[in-house]
Amino acid sequence: MILEYLYATPVASIIFAITIATSIYVFSNPQMYGTMMLHPYSIHRDKTKLYTIFTSGIIHADWGHLLFNMFTFYFFGFALEHFFVLASGSIGHLYFALLYIVSLVLSDIPTIVQQKNNVGYHSLGASGAISAILFSYILFQPKAMLGIFMVIPMPAYVFAVLYIVYCIWASKNSNDRINHDAHLFGALAGVLMTILLYPWIIRHFVEQF
């Protein structure tokens, strides 16, 4: 009965609700940032801080950060879970949860390695996992039209290329305090996880052109 319930659970709704609720709670209780943010220096020296890989993904810096990520998740996360369920039946809900959680972890690993000796570095937000959701969606719908900044329309596959190029450039050159490595490796993790779950997705992607 428990497994049947889990298989039928709309995971995107749960992630959406938890992320919004937790972020709003932390906005009103800023002392929680120190407990929940990713701090590679602490993780490297105190393995009990590993939990922050997960907690940092359900909090955000401010309303703009939260709204942008949840806006993206709303438009692509729910649709992607629907694709997974169409492809796999009810277990697709669990596959969606697996992709989100594993991608969240994988998106943070490069940052943890690179910043392990930087005591002043902190990171938070769901952007890595949401990049994974977006790129998994693009594998299913490479020609979907995306409105960049809600103004500039372009096919999803073109956006994907530009996104990767920008993330690589920004990771090396930008000083905007955004974790571009998490975006990049989250996107790559999303592609990898989708291919592992659905090896036929490569042929499906190619056949769209």
Query: DSSP labels for 65-131?
Result: HHHHHHHHHHHHHHHHHHHHHHHHGGGHHHHHHHHHHHHHHHHHHHHHHHTTT-TT--B--SHHHHH
- Measure the CA–CA gap between 58 and 124, rounded to whole angstroms: 8
Is residue 124 within 8 Å of 56, Cβ to Cβ? Answer: yes
pLDDT, averaged per 10 consecutive residues of the chain (209 residues), comes to 54 95 95 92 85 94 93 94 94 95 94 91 93 97 81 88 92 81 95 97 93
pLDDT at 60: 95
pLDDT at 46: 78
Is residue 138 within 8 Å of 209, Cβ to Cβ? Answer: no
pLDDT at 134: 96
pLDDT at 48: 75
pLDDT at 9: 66
- Measure the CA–CA gap between 56 and 53, rounded to whole angstroms: 6
Is residue 106 within 8 Å of 23, Cβ to Cβ? Answer: no
Is residue 85 within 8 Å of 114, Cβ to Cβ? Answer: no
In degrees rounded to 5, what are phi and psi of residue 145?
Answer: -90, 125
